[in-house]
Structure 1
Amino acid sequence: MRASDRAYAALRQDIVDWRLPPGTVLGEVEQSERLGVSRTPLREALSRLSADGLAAPHSGRGVVVTGISLDTVAELFELRQALECKSAALAAVRGNEPVFRSLAVRFRAAGELIGTAATDSDRGGYYSLVAELDAAIDDAAANTYLTQALGNVRLHLARVRRLAKDNPERLLETAGEHATIAAAVATGDPDLAGAAVSVHLHKSLEHLRSARIAAPEITTSKRRTTP
């Protein structure tokens, strides 16, 4: 792996996992030493992070980690609505029914993965199942550009999800919603599949809005998140 790729992957994961919170200055000297790369590949990594929207140049401070606001979360979900509903609709038409039937069954039994987990990091099994459903829908939709666009959206969603501190009750609800999505795709009905995704996204956004009380890092406007 190239040094710039290694630096990019490490910084991106640190930002998503909130080890580098909003407003953190990504100084070239400090990050080069921390990651064990020279400043040239680090600059390439910082440029890629800026293109992703995870970092941004700031006058007099170099590059900083971008913030999160309720406005930007709402915009993210507007895009997610368009992309994921379309992807699920295509998957319903083009997908393999047994694959999605099996996923629906596994989501209905996902309570054990959620209920026995003490922390967010312990819920890896459930999040892996969600990623498996995403991948199955991407494969079935068979649209490269759609998959690429969703990849960037999911990168930001992973960051927001960790901030929202999902609780077991909400996760159990999402398991049921994902089971409904998988079952709807399996029916081969694109309208039903899109509607199932739409309901899930609406509930997820409402949860994130209510989670702001416990997550003050989510501000009320984009202006306040600019470092």
Structure 2
Amino acid sequence: MRTSERVYGLLREEILDGTLAPGASLAEIEQSERLGVSRTPLREALSRLQGDGLVAARGGRGLVVAGLSLEDVRELFELREALEVKAASLAAARRDPAVFEALREEVRAAGETLGPATDLEGFYALTGRMDAAISEAAANPYLEAALRSVRAHVARLRRVSRDDESRLREATHEHLLILDAIVDGSPTMAAHATELHLHRSLASIVRSLGAHPVPEESRQ
């Protein structure tokens, strides 16, 4: 693996899991020393992250981890709706029912065990596999590439409401509605169920950001 690829993966993971918080400085000298690499591969990695929208330029501060303002969230969900509703519709038309039947059972079982001791990383890994299965079933490489980019930002947003157990229960029910529609081969119902899930997810995140706003200096 090329050094720039490895650095890109490390920094991307740190941004997505919150190790590098919104607004955190990504000064070349500091990061190259921390990661033990030269500045050339670091610059390549930072350029890719900037293209992903995870890193932003700040006058006088160089590059920083991109913020998460309410405006950012609303714009992201506009794109999510366009992409994910279409992907779910195509998946329902082109799916292998057995794949989604198995996922439905896993999601149902996960929902039954949600509680204070829930393994949230495992739960999100399961929903990530559901997303990946929908993308694969949609069988459109251009749509799949666009969804990969969007879902990087979604992973960051999940941290905002991840401790809200009631929202996780609602989201599990919504995921099951989507899976039911795909298993049944109903593109219209899959699209509607996905649209409902996105609408409720956005409302939950907006409430969470309203209660715990991102500091102004951390925003894009």
Q: Which amino acid aligns with 1:11?
A: L
Structure 2 distance, partners of 1:96, 1:129, is: 18
- Counterpart for residue 205 of structure 2: 208
**1:21-50: CA deviation from partner (whole Å, max 9, x where unpaired):** 122110111100111110000000110111
Q: Which amino acid aligns with 1:185?
A: I
RMSD: 1.8
Stretches of structure 2 that go unaligned for 5 or more consecutive residues are none
Question: 1:149 aligned to 146, 149, 159, which one?
Answer: 146
Q: How does 1:129-140 map to 2 (within 5 A)?
A: 129-140=126-137
TM-score of the two chains, using structure 2 as the length reference: 0.94
Q: How does 1:41-60 map to 2 (within 5 A)?
A: 41-60=41-60
- Counterpart for residue 193 of structure 1: 190
**1:134-181: CA deviation from partner (whole Å, max 9, x where unpaired):** 111111111101011000110001111113344111111111111110
Structure 1 distance, partners of 2:176, 2:6, is: 36
Question: 2:123 aligned to 115, 121, 126, which one?
Answer: 126
Q: Which runs of 4+ in 1 moved over 6 A?
A: none
Q: State, as a whole percentage, how many aligned pairs show the same letter.
A: 52
Structure 1 distance, partners of 2:167, 2:83, is: 23
**1:108-153: CA deviation from partner (whole Å, max 9, x where unpaired):** 22134422525xxx31221121011111111111110101100011
1:225 pairs with 2:219: yes
* Deviation, structure 1 residue 218: 7.1
**1:63-106: CA deviation from partner (whole Å, max 9, x where unpaired):** 11111111110110111001001001111110011221222222
Q: How does 1:58-207 map to 2 (within 5 A)?
A: 58-115=58-115, 117=117, 122-207=119-204
- Is the CA contact 1:104–1:180 (under 8 Å) kept in the aligned structure 2? no
TM-score of the two chains, using structure 1 as the length reference: 0.91
Paired residue total = 220
- Is the CA contact 1:85–1:197 (under 8 Å) kept in the aligned structure 2? yes
Stretches of structure 1 that go unaligned for 5 or more consecutive residues are none
Summarize the Cα distance change of 1:165–1:218 in structure 2 as closer, same or farther, 3 Å threshold: farther
Structure 2 distance, partners of 1:56, 1:46, is: 9
* Deviation, structure 1 residue 183: 0.8
